[in-house]
Amino acid sequence: MSKVWTLAKTTLREMLREKIFFVVIVIAVLMIALSFLLGALSFAEQIKIMADFGFLGVQLALMGISLFSGSYIIAKEVEKQTCLLILSRPVSRNQFILGKLFGVLALNTILLLILALILSVLLGIWSNPSQLEGFAEICLSLWFESSVILAFVMWFSLVVRPVLALCAGIVLFLLGHWLGDLAFFAAKSKEALFAQIVEILHWIVPNLYRMNWKSAYYLQAGLPAKDVLWMTAHMTGWFVIFVLLTNFCFRRKDIV
């Protein structure tokens, strides 16, 4: 594991020097600041607006890092063949993939902690400890979501071009959030074929809509323990599947 952690630290340092990281931070901070300004315009809905826009800013930041990093981090190494310098040493392809993956996950974790700290101060979470658990669970769901998208995009970037992998990641994200609406329309339309397609999609696409907790309601009411456990198990399962697919494709890929 020492080789994996060394690769992860190297990847983290490389990502911290990338301009996209600072662009994402600026955009996220601006959205959080916008949530504060909009909340100040409506005192009755201040917390609701700040929570909705604030969590959206955190989500977009994590997704931006996952999509852009995941689609290019391996493809760039393969295209320039710089990965051969690492693989020529006693480092396996699986260790190489895990090192790159953990490096981006570490970056997402750091970014989440920074933005969550800013948002928690604006929402007054520290003065209201009863909301701290719900706040942490919402942030955890956003981290899991970005991790699954990252693993998917890394795998897909080994199958198609990086730009297509990035687009596929966006489609997976949107489709995962639209599954609930699609199921509703399928039930209303009473079309058997439509209902079957939606049912299949529920099995082959991460059910992101079931963890759409980015609102003041869940922050104040809290989250049922069974929903948090389901989210953890469901997203961990998809993450492992995509990582295994990434390792499988990278082992079979002809780099030279």
Reported as a pLDDT band with limits 50, 70 and 90, residue 52 is: confident
Reported as a pLDDT band with limits 50, 70 and 90, residue 144 is: very high
Distance of CA 2 to the CA centre of its chain: 25
**Cβ neighbour number for residue 161 with a 10 Å cutoff:** 12
- Identify the domain containing residue 102 by its residue range: 2-252
When pLDDT is averaged across residues 75-95 and rounded to a whole number, the result is 78
Nearest to 158 by CA among 32, 251, 230: 251
- Alpha-carbon distance 255 to 247, whole Å? 14
When pLDDT is averaged across residues 23-51 and rounded to a whole number, the result is 73
Among 3-17, 32-46, 224-238, which range has the highest average pLDDT?
A: 224-238
Position 44 pLDDT exceeds 60: no
Distance of CA 58 to the CA centre of its chain: 10
When pLDDT is averaged across residues 100-129 and rounded to a whole number, the result is 89
Phi, psi of 190 (to 5 degrees): 60, 25
When pLDDT is averaged across residues 6-31 and rounded to a whole number, the result is 81
How open is the CA angle 250-255-256, to the nearest 5 degrees? 160
pTM: 0.91
Element (H or E) spanning 182, and its range? helix 162-189
Residue 78 Rama label (left phi>0; alpha psi -120 to 50; beta): alpha
Residue 1 tokens, joined = 């594991």
pLDDT (0 to 100) of residue 66: 93
Domain count, the chain: 1
Phi, psi of 92 (to 5 degrees): -80, 165
Share above pLDDT 90 across residues of the chain, in percent, rounded to a whole number: 39
CA within 13 Å, CB half, 94: 5
Q: 227-247: per-residue pLDDT in tens?
A: 999 999 999 999 999 999 999
Residue 248 tokens, joined = 């499988």
Among 39-48, 61-70, 73-82, 210-219, which range has the highest average pLDDT?
A: 61-70
pLDDT (0 to 100) of residue 43: 55
According to DSSP H, which parts of 17-92 are helical?
19-41, 46-80, 83-87
Position 63 pLDDT exceeds 90: yes
Residue 55 tokens, joined = 């969590």
When pLDDT is averaged across residues 87-93 and rounded to a whole number, the result is 79
